């Protein structure tokens, strides 16, 4: 079974798991939102908000898999691979907004706790916990939650959702037995902190990709050594390492070689570098070879300066 075949298999499995999880969670999110509204429980509404973020991230993961399969075109040479990152930013920002809204509501409720229908709240939050456990189990069994950033994100969402349901259950019990009205806004604040935290991390890592930052799983020093140590390479400059989408990293650089080297001789050098970099999580390599005479700048990172207006001379 070839690598691509295996990859397609996990890809298909991931998609199936995502679809099932998405349907279960979205259905339950609606139930929980309506339930929170009817029982007047902020903890349930907060958990529904958390589930909304789940449901969005699952939908994004599905769409990203779907769009990621669309081939590159002349107008989009990378296809739609970046979509996943744009969607992640949107998801992160949504989470932050939801969290702020919950904080705002909770503050009002601490001041004067309203009546909450605790029995209904307990039933709904218990079903919620059961559903989260079910979805987490389906994901553990059927999908690749370790490697794929998209799947991992969706899985972590479901896990933190469980905590939300546990919080709502605890709040319902505290109100039933001790009549502590503040337990409901307290549980919702705890959930809001979880929502805020995941929103922050999702946004941060997605913005890092949009800013063409060096991927987290790439060690720049090691990459520079690998290129420098290749036979025939004298030095390296204009180096860029970035990621197109999670799990697809690219590199471009200029490498200086002896001016006697022919194109035929240079190809094995490039192949070796590509091979070595593929073990360092770099999947797409572009190397421009130059002779020492051509080298205009020996700093490793690119020093491109924008041309002043009206300056038409070539550098």
Tens digit of each residue's pLDDT (9 = 90 or more) over 131-164: 888 888 888 777 666 666 666 767 777 777 788 8
Residue 15 pLDDT: 79
pLDDT on residue 4: 45
Place of tokens 């690119």: 302
- pTM metric for this prediction: 0.73
- What is residue 13's predicted lDDT score, i.e. its pLDDT? 74
Q: Which residues does residue 129 pair with via DSSP β-bridges, in sequence order?
A: none
For the residues 185-212, what does the mean pLDDT come to? 87
| pLDDT(166) > 80 | yes
**Res. 214: pLDDT tops 70:** yes
Q: Kindly state the tokens that stand for 194.
A: 């979880």
Question: Mean of the per-residue pLDDT values for the chain?
Answer: 82
**Per-residue pLDDT reduced to its tens digit, 24-57:** 888 888 888 888 888 888 888 888 887 887 787 7
CB 42 within 8 A of CB 98: no
Domains annotated for the chain, with CATH where assigned, are 3-210 (1.20.1510.10), 220-294 (3.30.70.1350)
Which pLDDT belongs to residue 145?
Answer: 63
Q: Residue 123, exposed/middle/buried by CB under 10 A (0-12, 13-18, 19+)?
A: middle
CA distances from 189 to 24, 94, 157, 161 (A): 25, 17, 17, 14
Token pair 């769409």 in the structure block, residue: 63
pLDDT at 268: 92
């Amino acid at each position: 079974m070839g690598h691509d075949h295996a990859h397609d298999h996990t890809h298909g499995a991931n998609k199936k798991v995502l679809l099932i999880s998405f349907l279960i969670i979205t259905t339950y999110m609606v139930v929980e939102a309506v339930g929170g509204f009817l029982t007047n429980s902020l903890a349930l509404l907060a958990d529904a908000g958390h589930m909304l973020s789940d449901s969005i991230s699952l939908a994004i993961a599905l769409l990203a898999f779907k769009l990621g399969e669309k081939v590159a075109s002349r107008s989009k040479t990378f296809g739609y691979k970046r979509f996943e990152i744009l969607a992640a930013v949107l998801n992160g920002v949504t989470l932050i907004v939801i969290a702020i809204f919950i904080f705002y509501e909770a503050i009002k409720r601490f001041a004067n706790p309203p009546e909450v229908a605790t029995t209904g709240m307990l039933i709904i939050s218990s079903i919620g916990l059961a559903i989260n456990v079910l979805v987490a189990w389906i994901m553990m069994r059927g999908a690749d939650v370790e490697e794929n950033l998209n799947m991992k994100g969706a899985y972590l969402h479901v896990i933190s959702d469980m905590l939300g349901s546990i919080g709502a259950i605890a709040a319902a019990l505290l109100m039933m037995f001790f009549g502590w009205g503040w337990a409901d806004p307290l549980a919702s604040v705890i959930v809001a902190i979880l929502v805020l935290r995941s929103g922050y991390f999702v946004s941060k890592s997605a913005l890092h990709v949009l800013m063409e930052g060096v991927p987290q799983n790439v060690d720049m020093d090691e990459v520079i050594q690998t290129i420098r140590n290749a036979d025939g390479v004298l030095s390296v400059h204009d180096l860029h390492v970035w990621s197109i989408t999670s799990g697809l990293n690219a590199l471009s650089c200029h490498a200086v070689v002896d001016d006697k080297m022919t194109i035929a001789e240079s190809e094995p050098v490039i192949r070796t570098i590509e091979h070595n970099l593929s073990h360092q999580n770099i999947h797409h390599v572009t190397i421009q070879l130059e002779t020492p005479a051509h080298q205009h700048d020996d700093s490793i990172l690119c020093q491109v300066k924008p041309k002043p207006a009206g300056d038409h001379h070539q550098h």
